[in-house]
Amino acid sequence: MKSLLIAGTNTDVGKTILTASLTAYFLKYHSQKSLAILKLIQTGIGDFEFYSNLFNCQIVVPLRFNAPFAPPISANLEGKTVDLKPVWQELVKLQQEKDLVLIEALGGLGSPVTEELTVADLAGEWRLDTVLVADVRLGAIAQIVANGALARQSKVKLKGIILNCTSEISQAELENLAPKNLIEKLTNIPVLGIIPHLKDCQDLDQLVAVASNLELEMLL
């Protein structure tokens, strides 16, 4: 069984787009196999409806909080604490049942999951193969370097970096804002592909095309 944690350098950098692209590709070209999407923890509205409207696969959200903040803060507002036991149990169950489990993280690798653990801590302790998504913008290099360093510190099995264009940019802008060679030299982590700006994130053909242009042999 294969599982992949899709983490980010921050919130709203493209984790959902990458998860959707890999899901669309897998369901099209490996329809005889089974896939599940696991959202580690959901705070606020979330992406459940987005996924469920697009894909005929199992989508699991084992832990939810209403307020759109970091989990320990959202839990505290509800008079609760973050109990990771049901998340771990659901992950193990899916890993036993499915051919592929795509696990969508929250925030960046440094985002708190509990009052003691970050996403990076969880990825390292649970020994999850991980890919890091970064949005292409001013400051992207610094965020990638910082998250890469945290991944090493936490012993995350980081397979590579995906760059996501959250807006329409030229090739020259891409090379100036997030140059592949410089990022790889600074982090010693391979850049496994670039997601272009998508006008329609629910276009399955576009999502499949996005995944097709990534180094999938490194991811899946």
What is the set of domains in the chain, with CATH numbers? Answer: 2-219 (3.40.50.300)
Q: Which residues are catalytic?
A: 39
Six-digit token string for 168: 């329409």
pLDDT score recorded for residue 1:
60
CB distance 216 to 1 below 8 Å: no
- Report, as ranges of residue numbers, the positions in the chain whose pLDDT lies below 50: none
pLDDT tens digits, one per residue of 70-91: 999 999 999 999 999 999 999 9
Give the strand pairing for 2-8 and 64-65.
Answer: unpaired
Question: Which residue reads 């969508």 in tokens?
Answer: 104
Q: What is the pTM of this model?
A: 0.95
Angle between helices 204-212 and 15-29 (to 10 degrees): 90
pLDDT score recorded for residue 216:
94
